Amino acid sequence: MDASQYATGEGPCVDASAEGRRFHTASLAAEARWPVFVPTARALGISAILSSPLTGNGKPVGALNIYSRHAGAFGPADQQLAAVFASEASTLLSAAAGDMDEVVIGRLESALRTRHVIALAQGVLMERHAIDEDSAHRLLRRSSARTRRPVHQGATDIVVSTRPPRHTGPAPHPQ
Partner 1 sequence: MSDDAGGALERGRRQAGLSHADLWLRYFALGGMSTALELEGFLAGVLEPSIHDHDLVAHALNERFVELGDDHPVAYLADADLG
Do residues 144 and 118 make contact, with C-beta atoms less than 8 angstroms apart?
no
Do residues 52 and 92 make contact, with C-beta atoms less than 8 angstroms apart?
no
What part of residues 135-174 is at the interface with partner 1 (CB under 8 A)? 137-138, 141-142, 144-146, 148, 150-152
Distance, CA of 146 to CA of 141 (rounded, Å): 9
Of the two residues 21 and 141, which places its CB atom closer to partner 1 in the complex? Answer: 141
Least distance in angstroms from the C-beta of 120 to partner 1: 11
Binding mask 84-123 for partner 1 (x = CB under 8 A): -----------------------xx-xxx-xx--xx--x-
Of the two residues 68 and 114, which places its CB atom closer to partner 1 in the complex? Answer: 114
Tell me which of 76, 98, 134, 171 binds partner 1, using CB under 8 A: 134
Least distance in angstroms from the C-beta of 36 to partner 1: 25
DSSP state of 20: -
Residue by residue, DSSP assigns 25-90 as ES-GGG--S-TTHHHHHHHTT--EEEEEEEEETTEEEEEEEEEESSTT---HHHHHHHHHHHHHHH
Which residues would be at the binding site for partner 1 (CB under 8 A)? 107-108, 110-112, 114-115, 118-119, 122, 134, 137-138, 141-142, 144-146, 148, 150-152
